[in-house]
Chain A
Amino acid sequence: MDLNYSPEENAFRQDVRNFLREALPETLRHKVLAGIHHSREEQVAWQKVLHKQGWFAPSWPKEYGGAGWNAVQRYIFEEEYDDAGAPRVVPFGPMMCAPVIMAFGSDWHKQRFLPKMLNTDELWCQGYSEPGSGSDLASLKTKAERQGDHYIVNGQKTWTTLAQWADWIFCLVRTSSEGKAQEGISFLLIDMKSPGIEVRAIKLMDGAHEVNEVWFDNVKVPAENLVGQENKGWTYAKFLLGHERSGIAAVGRSKRELAFVKEVARQEQLDGKPLLDHPRYRDKVAQLEIDLMALEVTSLRVLSAESRGKAPGAEVSFLKIKGTEIQQALTELQMEALGPYALPFFPDFVNGLAHAKIVGPDYGPPFTPRYMNYRKTSIYGGSNEIQRNIVAQHILAL
C-alpha cells in the first residue's frame, strides 16, 4: 500500500496546472471561484480550448478522442481542474449521452454526434424527469409513436438543466405501454430546434435560471435517432448510472470551497478576532475537513478498484451521498460566515449582469443563493434516498 503519488504522477499534475494557468481566462476563473454565473459563450469558448488541448473528454476511449489516461491521472486532472477555478464541463453530452452512443449506438450515431460533442459545436441536455416521474423514473409518460420513418413525440420533461443552452436533448420516451413500465422505454436523440419543442424557464429560489420545462407537441423525430433497440432504453439508462461517475464525489471542488470557507472566516471578525479562531465555528469546519479527507481516500479506493478492472457499481452511490452532504454543508458554512450580510440579495450581481453589489464584502452575495441552490445536490441524479435504496439492494442485498 502506498498512498503517495509517483514522480510521474506529480509531473503530470504540474503539466495540468501549467496548462490551466495559461489557458483559463482570468475573468472566467474569477467568476467560477466567486460563484458568479457565466454565459453560454464563455462556456463554449472554454470547452473549445480544452478540446484543442485534447483534454475535453479525457475518459473517452482513445479512438474517439479521449486522452488515454488511467484512473489516477483522471483524478489528478479533475482535482487540478477544480482547484484552478475552471468551470465544470456541461456533462450531458460527453459524460452521459456519449457512453450510451459508444456502447449501443449505430455507426451513423457515432459519426454524426460524437465529434460535435467533442468540439462543443453542439451542447446537450438530458430529458429524463417528468412532472409525474421523479424518483420513480420508469413511470414516465412522454410518448413516442412510430409513424413511418419518424417518431412523433408528445409530452413534457422537467428539471432539464441548461435546456436553454442545448442544441440536442437525449430523452427517455415511452414507446410501449405493454408489460412492465421499464420495458416500454426507448432512448431517443432529439434536435432542440425541431418544431413543436418549447423551453420554459423554471425560476428557482436563488433567482437563477438553471432548469427548465421542455414541452413536446407533435415533435417529428427521424427514426434513425433511436439509440439501440426500441423498448430497451431502460437498460441503457441503467448502464449510464454506473458509468463515468468517479467525479461524482466532487472532492476537488469541495477542497477548493473548504479553502475558501477558511479564507472568508479569517477575514470575518467576531469579538476582535477572526471567526475561524472561534471554536464553535472552527470545529464545524474542522469536522467537515476530516470527512472530506476520508471521502477523498474512499474515492481513490473506488478508482483504484476500477483501474484493476472492477466496474464501479453501487459504491458510486456512496460517493454521491457523502459528496453532496459535504457540498451542502460547505455552502451552509459560507453563508453562516457572513452573519447579517447573509441577507442582502443581489441576483444581477450573482448572475454576472451587474458589476457592483451595493453593500457588504465582495465575496458575500453568492453565498446564500448558493446555499439555497445546493439543496438540489441531494435531490438530483437520483435523490440520496434513491442512492440508499441502490446500496441497500445491490451491496447489502436487503
Chain B
Amino acid sequence: MDFNFSSEQEQLRDTINRLIEREYEFNKQRHAIINSAEGFSATVWSSMAEIGMLGLGIAEAHGGFGGNAIDTMIVMEALGRGLVVEPYLATVVLGANLIQLAGSDAQKTSLLPQLVEGKLKLAFAHSEAGARYDLKRVATVTRKVGDGYILSGEKIVVLHGNIADKIIVSAATAGALNDGQGMALFLVDAKTPGVNLTGYRTIDNQRAANLHLDNVRVNADAMLGSSEDNLAVVEQVMDIATAALVAESVGAMEALQKSTLEYLKTRRQFGVPIGKFQALQHRMVDMLMSVEQSRSMAYLAAVKVQSSDVAERQRVVSAAKNAVGRYGRLVAQEAVQMHGGMGITDELSASHYFRRLTAIDATFGDADHHLSRFAAGSTF
C-alpha cells in the first residue's frame, strides 16, 4: 500500500504543467486554439511530442517511452487542469492502445513511431446512433471483396475525427446487431474516397465528427491485426480511456474548486468577502470532499484498469466513472452558482470547466450507464 509517486512521475507532472503554463494560457493561446478552424494547435502538439508525452504508454521497441496507467493518470489530470483540447485522448490513449492491443507487428512498427513523433493523429470511430454507450452494438458492416474490404455505415461523435490522419473504424463481419460477434477494426485513411466526415464543435470547445462510410474500399492490410473478434480489445481500450477521462475530470474539478475558493475570498457583498457566509462555506466543503472522493476513485481506476481480472477491471472503472459523473456535476453546478452571474459567462474559466465536466459525463458512458454496468457485476 503506497500512495506516493516516483520522482520520475513528479518530474513528468512538472514538465507537463510547465508546458501548459507556457503554451496554453486560458485567455491567450487557449482562446486562439479553441477559435481556430481545426480546434487544436500543431505547435502544442509538437511540443508534446518533444517532451515525450505522445510516447507515454507505448513500448520502447516502437519508439515510445513505456509507462503505465498511473503515468497516464498524471498526464490526464494535468490536461484537465489546463482545459487542454488537444487530441491526446483520441490519439495516444484510444488510438495507440488499439494498435498495441489489436495491431500486427508490422502495423505497430510502422505506425507507433510516427504517432510518438507527433506525425500521426488518430481517432476511434465506434459509437453509432441507437447504440448509446453499448459497445457491442455495431451496425456498420464490412465484406471482403477481392484482396480488400468494403465498409459501409455511420459513426457518431468521433472525438477529434475532424483532424485525424487515420480513423480506426469498427465494423461487423458476422453475427447479430447486438451480440458483439465479428467485430473487425480497420485503419482508414481520412482521405479515402467514400469517407465523409462532418466535423463540428462540441459543447466543451473540443471537436468531433460524424463519419459516413459510403462503400469505402480499403486494402487487406488496413485491417488491424488479423482477428475479426475484437470486442474484448475494444472493451479493454474503452476502460483504459475511461480511467484516463476520470483522471482528467479530477484535474478539472480540482482547478474549478480552487478558482471558486479564490472567488469566495475576493468577491465582496454586504461589506464582507462572500466566503464569510456559512451557507457558502458548507457548500464549498462539499465541493472539496467531492474532489477528494473523485481523486480516490481515479487512483483506484488507474491501478485496477491494469488488472488481468476483467470483471474487477470493469467493476472499478465503472464505479470511478459513475463517481466522477455525479461528483463532477456537483462541483460544476456549485462552482457556477457560487460565481453568480459571472459563472455563466463565456469569459470566465469556470464555465469552461463546467462545460468540460458536463462533456466528460456524456463521454464513454454517463453515470447511469456505469451504475448499471457496476450493478450487473458479480458483487450483486
Q: Using a CB–CB distance below 8 Å, which chain A residues touch chain B? A: 1-6, 9, 72, 262, 276, 279, 282-283, 285-287, 289-291, 293-298, 300-301, 304-305, 318, 321-322, 385, 388-389, 391-392, 395-398
- Min CB distance, B220 to chain A, in Å? 43
A2 to B303, CA, bound (A): 7
Task: Please measure, in the bound complex, the distance between the C-alpha atom of A2 and the C-alpha atom of B3, giving whole angstroms.
Answer: 7
Q: Within the assembled complex, what's the spacing in Å between the Cα atoms of A396 and B282? A: 11
Q: Which residues of A contact B278 (CB under 8 A)?
A: 389, 392
Contact yes or no, A2 B1, CB < 8 A: yes
State the CA gap A295–B264 with chains docked (Å): 27
Q: Which residues of A contact B2 (CB under 8 A)?
A: 1-3, 304
Instruction: Tell me if B281 counts as interface (CB < 8 A to partner A).
Output: yes
Residue of B nearest to A387 (CB): B285
Shortest beta-carbon distance, A121 to chain B, in Å?
36
8 Å CB interface, B354-380 against A: 371-372, 374-375, 379-380
Interface residue ranges of B1-54 to A (CB < 8 Å): 1-5
Known contacts A294-B323, A304-B3, A385-B282; A286/B299 CB under 8 A = no
Which residue in A4, A297, A398 is a CB contact (below 8 Å) of B297?
Answer: A297
CB distance from A304 to the nearest CB of B (A): 5
Closest CB of chain B to A382's CB: distance in Å? 13
User: Inside 8 A of B70's CB, which chain A residues have their CB?
Assistant: 1
Smallest Cβ-Cβ distance to B274: which chain A residue = A398
Nearest CB to that of B70 among chain A residues? Answer: A1
* A398/B264 contact (C-beta < 8 A), A286-B371, A287-B371, A298-B293 known: yes
Chain A residues within an 8 Å CB radius of B1: 2-6, 9, 72, 300, 304
A-B contact list, 29 entries, CB within 8 Å = A1-B302, A2-B2, A3-B1, A4-B1, A4-B303, A276-B380, A279-B375, A286-B380, A289-B374, A290-B297, A290-B323, A290-B371, A294-B300, A294-B323, A298-B292, A298-B296, A300-B3, A304-B1, A304-B2, A322-B289, A322-B293, A389-B281, A392-B281, A395-B288, A396-B275, A396-B281, A396-B288, A398-B275, A398-B281
**Among A279, A293, A318, contact of B300 (Cβ-Cβ < 8 Å):** A293
**A301 CA to B300 CA in the complex, in Å?**
11
Contacts of A4 in B (CB 8 A): 1, 303
| Contact of B303 with A1 in the complex, beta carbons under 8 Å | yes
* Interface residue B119 (Cβ < 8 Å from any Cβ of A): no
Say whether B319 contacts A290, CB under 8 Å: yes
Chain B residues positioned under 8 Å from A322 (CB to CB)? 289, 293
Bound complex: CA of A320 vs CA of B288, how far in Å? 14
Name the B residues within 8 Å of A289 (CB-CB). 319, 374, 379
Whether the Cβ atoms of A262 and B380 lie closer than 8 Å is yes
Q: Assess whether B292 is in contact with A282, with CB atoms less than 8 Å apart.
A: no
* A184 to B78 alpha-carbon distance, docked (Å): 50
B276 at the interface (CB under 8 A from A): yes
Interface residues on B, range: 35 or more
| Chain B residues engaging chain A, CB cutoff 8 angstroms | 1-5, 70, 261, 264-265, 275-276, 278, 281-282, 284-286, 288-289, 292-294, 296-297, 299-300, 302-303, 316, 319, 322-323, 326, 371-372, 374-375, 379-380
Chain B hits for A318, CB < 8 A: 288-289, 292
- Complex CA–CA separation, A385 to B286 (angstroms): 11
CA distance A1 to B303 in the complex (A): 8
- Interfacial chain A residues near B374, Cβ < 8 Å: 286, 289-290
How many Å lie between the Cα of A322 and that of B3 in the bound state?
A: 21
Q: A3-B1, A286-B374 are in contact. Are A388 and B281 (CB under 8 A)?
A: yes
Chain A residues near B293 (CB-CB < 8 A): 291, 294-295, 298, 322
- Chain A residues within 8 Å of B296, by CB: 294-298, 301
Residues of B within 8 A of A305 (CB): 3
Distance A276 CA – B376 CA, assembled complex (angstroms): 11
Docked CA distance A293–B374 (Å): 12
Q: For residue A390, which residue of chain B has the nearest CB?
A: B285
Nearest to B69 among chain A residues (CB) is A1
* Complex A-B, nearest 10 residue pairs according to Cβ-Cβ distance, in ascending order: A297-B296, A392-B281, A286-B375, A294-B293, A398-B275, A388-B285, A290-B319, A388-B282, A298-B296, A391-B285
Q: Evaluate whether A293 and B264 lie within 8 angstroms (CB atoms) in the complex, with A3-B1, A9-B1, A385-B282 already known.
A: no
Chain A, Cβ-Cβ closest to B322: A290
Alpha-carbon distance between A51 and B265 when the two chains are bound, in angstroms: 51
Say yes or no: B371 contacts A283, CB within 8 Å. yes
With A1-B4, A1-B303, A297-B300 in contact, is A396–B319 under 8 Å at CB?
no
Q: Are A396 and B323 in contact (CB under 8 A)?
A: no
Is B261 a contact partner of A396 (Cβ separation < 8 A)? yes
In the assembled complex, the Cα of A64 lies from the Cα of B3 at a distance in Å of 30
Indicate if the CB atoms of A396 and B289 lie closer than 8 Å: no
- Shortest CB-to-CB span from A267 to chain B, Å, is 14
Report the separation of the CA atoms of residues A276 and B326 in the bound assembly, to the nearest whole angstrom.
22
Cα of A192 to Cα of B295 in the assembled complex, Å: 47
Chain B residues, Cβ within 8 Å of A296:
296
Cα(A54)–Cα(B261), bound, Å: 47
Report how far A305 CA is from B371 CA in the complex, Å: 31
Residue of A nearest to B5 (CB): A1
Nearest-CB residue, chain B, relative to A318: B289
Tell me the complex Cα distance, A312–B3, Å: 16
Which of these, A285, A298, A392, contacts B285 with CB under 8 Å?
A392
Can you name the residue of chain B whose Cβ is closest to the Cβ of A3? B303
User: 14 more A-B contacts (CB under 8 A) besides A276-B380, A396-B281?
Assistant: A1-B3, A2-B2, A283-B372, A289-B319, A289-B379, A297-B299, A301-B3, A318-B292, A388-B281, A389-B281, A392-B281, A392-B284, A398-B264, A398-B284
Residues of A within 8 A of B264 (CB): 398
Instruction: Report the bound CA distance from A385 to B281 in whole Å.
Output: 10
CA distance A72 to B299 in the complex (A): 17
* Bound form: Cα–Cα A4–B316 in Å: 14
Which single residue of chain B is at the shortest CB-CB distance from A2?
Answer: B2
Q: A291 CB to closest chain B CB, in angstroms?
A: 7
Minimum C-beta distance from B272 to chain A (A): 11
- CB pair A1–B282 under 8 Å, yes or no, is no
Nearest chain A residue, comparing its CB with the CB of B273 = A398
With a cutoff of 8 Å between Cβ atoms, the chain A residues found around residue B284 in the complex are 392, 396, 398
Residues of A with C-beta under 8 A to B322: 287, 290
Q: Give the Cβ gap from B339 to chain A, nearest Cβ, in Å.
A: 16
The distance in angstroms between the C-alpha atoms of A321 and B286, with both chains bound, is 10
A318 CA to B293 CA, complexed, in Å: 10
| Residues in chain A near residue B282, CB distance under 8 A | 385, 388-389, 392
> In the assembled complex, how far is the CB of residue A391 from the closest CB belonging to chain B, in whole angstroms?
5
CA A360 to CA B322, docked complex, whole Å:
36
Q: How far is the CA of A130 from the CA of B288 in the complex (A)?
A: 32
Docked-complex contact B285 and A293, CB < 8 angstroms: no
CB neighbours of A396 from chain B (8 A)? 261, 275, 281, 284-285, 288
Closest to A315 in B: B292
Kindly list chain A residues whose C-beta atoms are within 8 Å of the C-beta of B3: 1, 3, 300-301, 304-305
**Cα distance, A211 to B244, chains bound together (Å):** 49
Least CB distance, B115 to chain A, in whole angstroms: 26
